[in-house]
Amino acid sequence: MLKINNLEVSVTGKKILKDFNLIINDGEIHAIMGPNGVGKSTLSRVIMGDDNYKITGGTITFDGDNLLPLTTDERAKKGIFLAMQYPMEIDGVSNQDFLRTAISAKEQKRIGLYDFILRCEKGVEELSMDKDLIHRSLNVGFSGGEKKKNEVLQIKLLKPKFIILDELDSGLDVDSLKIASENIAKYKEENPETAILIITHHPKILEYLKPQYIHIIDNGTIVKTGDASLALDIEKNGYSNYKNGKNDIINEDNYE
């Protein structure tokens, strides 16, 4: 599904990602962990096509197609979804208009109002969201938890095949994290081919979404790859053991 090969990324002349390699196959769940400022969110923005990041080397392919020439909306239409750490607040644009326009863009036909309301109501109920949030300006005045639930609602409505969760757990209380995570897990169960990349500091979300692979990132590159036990080690001992390490597990030759 997603293949990143020797990626190098700079922002205002500073190299953020270097020699970055990652392969995520259909249906897999991966987690990327690491302290602040090591390039985790940069990776998510680069995959989504944020122009603020300059790619100076390497490739990203998705389902065999080169992603790099595609605009952000074209990448989204291919089935990539980035649940953002800080969802934007856009005054005046109603959540309803936004969601309906996004679904219509994805399905390449204007979705009928009745059909839209039915889909929305189901998602809103499953996420225990306040129904009024659909009619308000997009994310304006939403609590941190409501914003994140709104991101998950978009997943349910837009039905992506590759989901990036950029610190979904930040701003969420324990109960909301449980509801959001369980909804994503349910979506994954209903769409087993969907792959997920979880970017997080904290192992709590991994209890709900259970990744097969955990990668530690430091200084712009993956320095260690392991299974769930790696997250437990991080929780216990922190990241210091993995600073400036070298990843010897994932590369094109030995990754299955």
Partner 1 sequence: MNKIKVVNNRIIPFDCDDVLINESSIRFMKNGDCYIEYIDSDNVSININIDSNVCINLFEYSENEKLDININYNLDKKASLILSKFYCNGNTKAKITINLREEKANIKYNFSSISNGIEDYNVNIYHLAKQTTSDVFNKVIARENSSNFFDINSFVENGIKDCTLNQQTRIITLGDSDNRINPNMFIGENSTVATHSSTIGSISDDDLFYLMSRGIAYKDSVNLIIKGMILSNINTNMETREKILKILDGIGGE
Beta strands in 67-127 (DSSP E): 80-83, 90-94
Longest dimension (CA), the chain: 55
123 binds partner 1 (CB under 8 A): no
Which of 34, 39, 58, 87 touches partner 1 by CB under 8 A? 87
Tell me if 174 sits within 8 A of 141, measured CB to CB: no
- Is position 18 an interface residue for partner 1 (rule: CB under 8 A)? no
By CB under 8 A, tell whether 132 contacts partner 1. Answer: no
Which residue in the set 67, 76, 195, 205 belongs to the binding site for partner 1 (CB under 8 A)? Answer: 76
Contact (Cβ atoms closer than 8 angstroms) between residue 33 and residue 56: no
Residue 226, CA distances (Å) to 85, 234, 248 in order: 24, 11, 11
Q: Is 60 in the site for partner 1 (CB under 8 A)?
A: no
From the list 92-100, 119-127, 192-200, 223-231, the region that binds partner 1 by CB under 8 A is 92-100
Q: Which two tokens stand for residue 140?
A: 């304006």
The answer to the question of residue 148 lying near partner 1 (CB under 8 A) is no
Residue type, 132: D
Stated as kind and residue range, the H or E segment containing 187 is helix 174-190
Q: Which is nearer to partner 1, 7 or 164 (CB)?
A: 164
Q: Hey, what are 45's tokens? A: 């923005």
Binding partner 1 by CB under 8 A: which of 88, 117, 118, 232?
A: 88
Q: How far is the CB of 235 from partner 1 (least distance, A)?
A: 31
* 102 forms part of the interface with partner 1 (CB under 8 A): yes
Do residues 193 and 220 lie in contact, with contact meaning Cβ atoms separated by under 8 Å?
Answer: no
Question: Can you give the binding site for partner 1, defined by CB under 8 A?
Answer: 48, 50-52, 71-73, 75-77, 81-82, 84, 87-88, 90-94, 97-98, 101-102, 105-106, 137, 154, 158
